[in-house]
């Protein structure tokens, strides 16, 4: 009996020691990688060396505008693509004046599918080194699928903007990158695409598509010199998120994009910002059912608050 107890104790000791060693290695690797990513970064990787031009969709506000500005700051010429020509002209003028680079604009509505011939004509002949697929659409407020206002139209819009635009824009730009064996495609997904988010069902699903599409595309074309990145931010202080004041966990678009660009060439799937990366690591440890339950409760509360404020039943 004493012999068996001794063997069991020895086994438990080595299991415990092995577990501690494994966790120590995991934490050490995570800390090393975090320092490499956020402390050292890869800031010089993105620039005209990839190609003269950067193309940014949804580029008149928020994250898209900040990507356009940061890429212009690195000396890249910028093609701005968005819906409003007035806003496009204003942002193009600001970038041209501030960063002394050439700019072009293409005004299209990404809710439509018949816009890509116009975009293709506008991009013809340009040496495009970076494509930022940023244009996106979410709900006005969290809602049950069948209760979404104007449901059929909302389905069409979210799929056209969040899914089809990413595929079509990549289709237009990628061949030139492959021909030159260099380029970067940065697809702005969302933390809502990492795990299922009830009451934002269509948005969560479309952003999950962007994430998987990016990961697959990166594996297909990395050997051809193309870096494809899935960017999965949590809340950023933008109009889309309806957040006006930046905080530590809800950075300004400028702060977020500066951090995210440091990861290009290093990390093909990133939350783009150190605090968001920590949040993503924690959420990835949760069982899917638990995350969905927590998310459901949060969004039910947000839904009730919105409906009360707007006097809806």
pLDDT digits (tens, 9 = 90+) for 93-135: 999 999 999 999 999 999 999 999 999 999 999 999 999 999 9
pLDDT in tens, 181-210: 999 999 999 999 999 999 999 999 999 999
* 224 and 212 in a common domain: yes
End-to-end CA distance of the chain: 70
Residue 116 designated active-site? no
Residues 49, 3 share a domain? no
> Nearest-CA neighbor of 211 among 233, 188, 240?
188
The reply to whether 13 and 72 lie within a common domain is: no
At residue 86, the pLDDT reads 97
Clarify whether residues 305 and 193 are in a common domain.
yes
Work out how many domains the chain is built from and give that number. 2
Residues 153 and 184 in one domain: yes
Instruction: Provide the percentage of residues in the chain whose pLDDT is more than 90.
Output: 80
- Give the three-class secondary structure for 71: helix
Secondary structure class of 133 (helix, strand, coil): strand
Helices (H), ranges, 262-287: 274-284
Residue with tokens 């074309």: 221
Domain coverage including residue 10: 1-40
**2-22, pLDDT tens digit by residue?**
666 666 666 776 776 777 776
Residues 201 and 146 both lie in one domain: yes
**pLDDT of 239:** 77
Q: Could you tell me if 96 and 210 lie in one domain?
A: yes
| Buried b / exposed e along 191-226 (16+ C-beta atoms within 10 A) | bbbbbbbbbbbbbbbbbbbbbebbbebbeebeeeeb
Burial of 173 (0-12, 13-18, 19+ CB in 10 A): buried
Both 124 and 270 in a single domain?
yes
Q: Which residues lie below 8 Å from residue 265, measured CB to CB, with a gap of 6+?
A: 42, 45, 46, 184, 227
Asked if residue 52 lies in contact with residue 76, where contact means CB atoms within 8 angstroms, the answer is yes
What's 165's domain CATH number? 3.40.50.720
Do 69 and 89 share a domain, yes or no?
A: yes
Flag whether the pTM goes above 0.85. yes
Whether residue 36 is found in the same domain as residue 57: no
Q: Are residues 119 and 22 in the same domain?
A: no
Residues 254-280 have pLDDT tens digits of: 999 999 999 999 999 999 999 999 999
- The residue annotated as part of the active site, out of 203, 234, 235, 273, is 203
- pLDDT classification of 242: cutoffs 50, 70, 90: confident
Per residue in 202-234, pLDDT (tens digit) is 999 999 999 999 999 999 999 999 999 999 999
- Domain check: are 29 and 89 in the same one? no
């Amino acid at each position: 009996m004493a012999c068996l107890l001794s063997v069991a104790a020895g086994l438990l000791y080595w299991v415990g020691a092995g577990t501690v060693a494994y966790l120590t290695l995991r934490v050490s690797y995570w800390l090393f990688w975090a320092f490499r990513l956020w402390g050292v970064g890869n800031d010089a990787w993105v620039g005209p060396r990839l190609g003269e031009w950067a193309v940014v969709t949804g580029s008149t506000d928020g994250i898209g505008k900040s990507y356009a500005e940061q890429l212009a700051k690195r000396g890249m010429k910028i093609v701005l693509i968005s819906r409003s020509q007035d806003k496009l002209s204003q942002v193009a003028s600001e970038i041209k004046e501030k960063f002394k680079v050439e700019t072009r604009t293409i005004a299209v509505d990404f809710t439509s599918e018949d816009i890509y011939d116009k975009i293709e004509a506008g991009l013809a002949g340009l040496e495009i080194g970076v494509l930022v697929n940023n244009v996106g659409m979410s709900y006005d407020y969290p809602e049950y699928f069948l209760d979404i206002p104007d449901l059929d139209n909302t389905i069409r819009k979210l799929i056209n903007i969040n899914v089809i635009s990413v595929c079509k824009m990549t289709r237009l730009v990628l061949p030139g990158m492959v021909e030159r064996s260099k380029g970067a495609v940065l697809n702005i997904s969302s933390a809502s695409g990492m795990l299922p988010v009830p009451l934002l069902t269509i948005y969560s699903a479309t952003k999950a598509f962007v994430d998987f599409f990016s990961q697959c595309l990166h594996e297909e074309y990395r050997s051809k010199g193309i870096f494809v990145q899935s960017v999965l931010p949590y809340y950023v202080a933008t109009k889309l998120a309806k957040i006006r004041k930046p905080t530590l966990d809800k950075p300004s678009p400028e702060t977020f994009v500066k951090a995210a660009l440091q990861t290009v060439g290093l990390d093909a799937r990133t939350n783009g910002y150190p605090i968001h990366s920590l949040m993503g690591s924690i959420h990835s440890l949760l069982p899917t059912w638990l995350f969905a339950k927590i998310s459901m409760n949060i969004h039910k509360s947000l839904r009730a608050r919105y409906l009360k404020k707007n006097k809806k039943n």
